[in-house]
Amino acid sequence: MMKAQLPATKPAQGIFSLAVIVAALGYFVDIYDLLLFSIIRVPSLQSFGLNKEQITSGGESILMWQMAGLLIGGIIWGIMGDKRGRLSVLFGSIILYSLANIANGFAKTVEQYEIIRFIAGLGLAGELGAGITLVSELTPKEKRGIATSLVAGIGLTGAVVAFVIKENFNWRICYFIGGGLGLLLLLLRISVYESGMFHQVKKQNVRRGNFFMLFANADRFKRYLFGILIGLPTWYVIGILVTFSGEFAEKMNVAEKIDPGKAVMYAYVAISIGDILVGFISQWFRSRKKALYLFYVITALFIALFFTAQWNGSAARMYLICAGLGFGTGFWAIFVTMGAEQFGTNLRATAATTIPNMVRGMLTVLILPLFKGLRGVTDYCTAGWITGVIIMAIGVVAVIYTKETFGKDLNYVEE
């Protein structure tokens, strides 16, 4: 692997620049739309006249289609981010997923739902990676972790707003509101400037946005693979434990009915807090990896508590455990920032956009299939905790073999 320095660029001063604020608002809308299905899954599918088993199987299928869209979209938008610029992705992605969410409000069958969530997934894939890349390149390296944590922390409250709106409006109106919020955000994005580092790399005779460069040598592939594996516990927690908390509670003989939308809301309130704190903790430790280890321990503790809910089962206890799980997985900001910091400017958007979407896509190609496969040889809850042990072990190994990136200078290219 070879690296070449770029001419110095002057980063924005402070962590409350317009780019940070707009990126945070963009991620807010992104999370609102991304998690809306998990929140309104049951009432929306009930409106189609489905029974309980069909709601579970249909929900899993729709979620897998959405995650497949995220997986494919992450590659497309990542390449575009390095070839055409970070702002191009921020504009294009939000238009696509906003229009898709408006269309989702008119869905009348599971098949229509699947297609539209796939298209929405394609659009949603571009938001976070492009935003984090832009903020990372515009913020001084000493404050980069805090700035990206603010983006994620503020953005993740979109799930809370989605739940509040779900409590007051029909599920179709919820989708219309999400699409409208996205289109309104386009007006704010007009005032944001492109990254100086991207302008510099455009002048260099280097390949930009070449997705296959990530696999071209062992060192680069290892950085990319471990960057993905670090994030797996987040979507195990959200995609399995929290989204299907109602089913788990029923299998655990929890007497009170669990509202999955409420569980998502509790989890994301805590994730927002965790994502803001992790930036400051990383700053205090002067290490991304030490902060990750701390949050992994918290996640493992609450996974263990989740699967003992039947010993003292109540809805309140389940919601509190979901909040604890959310706080433990509140390392999303640092995880995505590390993905951006691992690569040069000519591949940074490609890596930072594909890595989180590969993690989301792993719910479809690894985590859900593993969970469903284990259900074939054991019971629902046992399959759940075995899946958790495997996913957490993979994450820990990935962190161990990932290089520390705290305070790293990003003004270079991959050759």
User: Tens digit of pLDDT for each residue in 228-240?
Assistant: 999 999 999 999 9
Q: For residue range 337-365, what is the model confidence (pLDDT) as tens digits? A: 899 999 998 999 999 999 988 898 888 88
CATH of 9-194+214-407, one of 1.20.1250.20, 3.40.190.10, 3.90.1150.10, 3.40.50.1010: 1.20.1250.20
CA–CA separation, 350 and 348 (whole Å): 5
* Mean per-residue pLDDT, 144-171: 88
Please give the pLDDT value at position 6.
Answer: 54
CA–CA separation, 209 and 348 (whole Å): 8
Please give the pLDDT value at position 137.
Answer: 84
Q: For residue range 39-82, what is the model confidence (pLDDT) as tens digits? A: 888 899 999 999 988 998 898 899 889 988 988 999 999 999 99
For the chain, percent of residues with pLDDT exceeding 70: 94
Please give the pLDDT value at position 1.
Answer: 47
Q: For residue range 358-373, what is the model confidence (pLDDT) as tens digits? A: 898 888 889 999 999 9
Q: For residue range 259-309, what is the model confidence (pLDDT) as tens digits? A: 888 898 899 889 989 988 998 999 899 999 999 999 999 999 999 999 986
Q: For residue range 107-134, what is the model confidence (pLDDT) as tens digits? A: 999 999 999 999 999 999 988 888 888 8
Q: What is the pTM of this model?
A: 0.84
18 or 245, higher pLDDT: 245
